[in-house]
Chain A
Amino acid sequence: MKKVSNNWKQSFPANSFGTQFFEEFSTRAQNVAAKVYRVKTGAEAQSVIVDIIKSSEAKKVVATSEVISPSAGLHNTLKGMNVELYTEQGDIRTHADTSDVGIACVEFGIAETGSVCEDSFSIEQRLVTTLPPISIVVMHSGNVVPDIATAFEVISKVFNRGYISFITGPSRTSDIERVLTIGVHGPSQFVVIAIDEDTREV
């Protein structure tokens, strides 16, 4: 997978990131209709994912290989539930539009706005987080910066070329009578799973 940076964490300013900003991040993300789960391990994250798939009766899932490796076992669990899972580039392109759930990693959270910062250079990353109606992103709960200025301090160190996105809650519109309506062209559900253990895999 193409990345803007393979080691974002190296660019975090020493004193202004960490779990101390997580609560504010979580509150603000929830204020804009994101669901936020904080778990200890990759295994716990996996069970949150399984619950979401069960309760939404999802039948098809696309995920980036970065977040789901065959060894972690989610493959088998989903197979046992009769849920299709696609993690290869071509498969993601073919199935993302008809999938119910997309799962991917994001790099860090921003407390000021409740946003997550996504390294979206790779095409599969973008397909997974834009097309399915339920978008699940996984991050490390210590990777939270206090504000946009700090976020851009990090970004300006790594962003030479590629694609970077902030995602803040689900897709929304107020274009008809200014009535807030969730889920237009992008996901209608946005779920953040923050793992305390420093892993990208679930």
Chain B
Amino acid sequence: MTSTNRNLRQEINEKLMDETLRGSLNRFAEAYPIARAKAYENVDDLDALRNSVRDMKIDTVERLEEIANQFEEQVTLRGGKVFRAKDGDALKQYLFDLCKQKGVKRIAKSKSMATEEIHLNHFLEEEGLHVKETDLGEWIISIAGHKPSHMVMPAIHLDRNQVAKYFSQELNKDIEPDIAYMVQEARTALREEFLLADMGITGANFGIAENGATGLVTNEGNARLVATLPPIQVVIIGYEKLIPTIKDAVPILRTLPRNATGQLMTSYMSMISGAAPALVKKDGQWVEQEKELHVILFDNGRLKAAKDDKLKQIYQCVRCASCLNVCPVYTLVGGHVYGHIYAGGIGAILTALLNSMDDFKQINEMCIGCRRCTEICPGKIDIPGLIEYLRAKSVKEDGLPFGVKAVFENVLANRKVFHSLLRLASIGQKPFTTGRVIRHLPLFFAGLAENRSLPAVADTPFRDRVKKVTKQVNKPKKRIAFFSGCNIDFIFPETGESVYKVLQDLNMEVVFPEDQSCCGKPVLGMGDHETAKKIAKQNIIAFEEARADYIMFACPTCAETWHVTYVELFKDDPEWSKRIEKLAHNVREFTSFVAGEYEKSGRLVKSQGGQKVTYHDSCHMKRGLNVHTEPRKLLESAPGYDFVEMKDCDKCCGMAGAFGVKYTELSMPILKKKVDNIRDSGAEVIAVACPACMMQIQGGLDKQAPNIKIKHVAEIIAEQIKE
């Protein structure tokens, strides 16, 4: 099922206009982090717990075949039948044959995402079977004819009035939009489904190889009924849910409910090993007999993923869906724009693996790479990293659109052309700029600057100012080569000047390798690894020639690209690998470097009074480089400033590389929240340590809160140094 004719932009806009959806997602996004934190209060070492989920799952996928064989053997030993379904068609055929053979007419189901994946209900109904979803949310969307919009809360996009309307239609009576009453109506209506079903179908949260048990984690109690009353039980379980031993369920059970819904444990957790007893009526008497148990191990792309070095990380997923709950994009638009069954970042990955690359291509840009998901994922899956990996894979296979490729190869990969164009832009934009920002853009660009001004390209780039700010340092402590990145070079040259001032004040010799160019992140982000390698090589050569002790970055994205991505890019190239590793070792991020030096010399003394300043953690800085205390220490010790924290200080500002420009409609609401939080903190100055965030937030402030100033931390420290 591909959906190549989608108009994603239109779908996004519809969701942005859906007040019900926006309201409910907004409230949820506010409440979720608090509920989750509270649920983990009695867990001593959360990081160790997450490591145990990850390690156990990694160990399992390494020996998946052995585990799957053991699981099958143990289920069979206990009276169950195991069927390994290669894909949806195989699964449907097996199930349909089983129903025919056993005379099954009524089926009660409890939630299973794997069956959503292949539209199982639809198939069975077309074959004339009576199939009912019994999870309340699933039931609601099934009577509404919708797809789930969240893995744990499938009907989160509907409000009580909409639900009442669907209930009234389904039950043929007037249903008041009272939640408790509607829940009771659903209880009554569905009770008969449990009692009369010939077959119960459940999913599974885990499958234990040691004794063939499957585990179910639910709140409503429907899965218990589905697995208790009907004489035939079918469990549909994806390979990724297998675990080796009974005890391996512990880290899953300690994280899944806490992360999914902020519960210490769901109302029910059941583990069923082997065919359980059921009661069937014979000659008017209830007679106990063993259930017929069928366990379907579902592949549908999972086994292939298990063999891919990167993609096997999806086996670390426990399906808590918490990655959606913190995703700035998901919490704006909900799950339906992701098109297929699984939403959010993990959904994009699962869609690529279990559905099609075509569907993935349409939605992969909905991940802005902020890594809030990775930060809370119980299995520590690098979701944005996997999305980038899949993007690169698809670019390798199908190439980039012609125009993009041409720009990358002819402009970005050629420093001279790229920089000449930027210089030209500084002249071309003249009629539209006021000071540092572009307030009004001509014609079709106008939409981009509606709630945000775009930055102006500086009259004189940093590279042309270097000579003026370079000082002779006698007996320098270290020699430092500065990598400015495009933003500092062409948009915020003043930040570069501040970096020089601070480092020279620390008695460092600072040099600027002229041949440096863009770090290549925009190209990498689009998945074009070949062009990225060309750019990286130019930079590597330029910095080797500089013979510096350290390479300094005042942009966390550039720093991370050098430190991590360059190393990965050349891992199969022994010569370049050696060269970049040597340089990567010397990469330093400005604020953490300076804070370290200041600490040594006793300059980190807390000061109070003065202008209120707050700090925005850029995603690449906090979650990429793990730098967040150091810039705060610098701000706290800057005389003339009074540091205050703001709400959601580490939430993405909505820039996220090209995303902020390409998906303006999504970027703007994210930015607006950021500006609101800055304003609410009472700060007069917002400090950032990333020029890309600076560009975005500056634009938002210019339109929405013009009296708040934005400064790079480097500028604030530089102000403290007397000439």
Residues on A facing B (Cβ under 8 Å) = 2, 28, 32, 89-90, 93-94, 97, 110, 112-115, 120-123, 126-127, 130-131, 148-149, 152-153, 155-156, 159-179, 181, 183-187
Contact = CB atoms under 8 A, between A and B. Distances in A.
Contacts of B228: 123, 126-127, 130
A177 B268 CA distance: 21
A168 to B, nearest CB: 4
Contact of B187 (A169, A179, A183): A183
A173 B186 CA distance: 11
A97 B192 CA distance: 10
Interface stretch (B11-19, B259-267, B392-400, B698-706): B259-267
B264 A89 contact: no
13 contacts: A114-B264, A114-B265, A123-B288, A127-B228, A152-B250, A153-B247, A159-B271, A162-B272, A168-B268, A173-B137, A175-B140, A183-B184, A184-B187
A185 B222 contact: yes
A39 to B, nearest CB: 24
Interface string B579-612: 0000000000000000000000000000000000
B270 interface: yes
Contacts of A28: 264
B24 interface: yes
Contacts of B137: 173, 175
B5 to A, nearest CB: 32
B281 to A, nearest CB: 9
A185 B266 contact: no
Contact of A184 (B153, B186, B266, B288): B186
B254 interface: yes
B268 A166 contact: yes
Nearest to A153: B247
B142 to A, nearest CB: 12
B190 interface: yes
Interface in B523-568: none
Contact of A148 (B211, B222, B246, B254): B254
A123 B273 contact: no
Contacts, number: 179
A4 to B, nearest CB: 9
A185 B273 contact: no
A161 B211 contact: yes
B690 to A, nearest CB: 34
Nearest to B39: A113
B264 A123 contact: no
Contacts of B42: 112
Contacts of B247: 149, 152-153, 156
Contacts of B153: 174-175, 178
Interface in B191-248: 191, 194-195, 210-213, 219-222, 224-225, 228, 245-247
Contacts of A160: 211, 273
Nearest to A133: B187
Given A152-B249, A170-B267, A163 B136 contact: no
A166 B217 CA distance: 9
Contact of B270 (A97, A163, A179): A163
A123 to B, nearest CB: 5
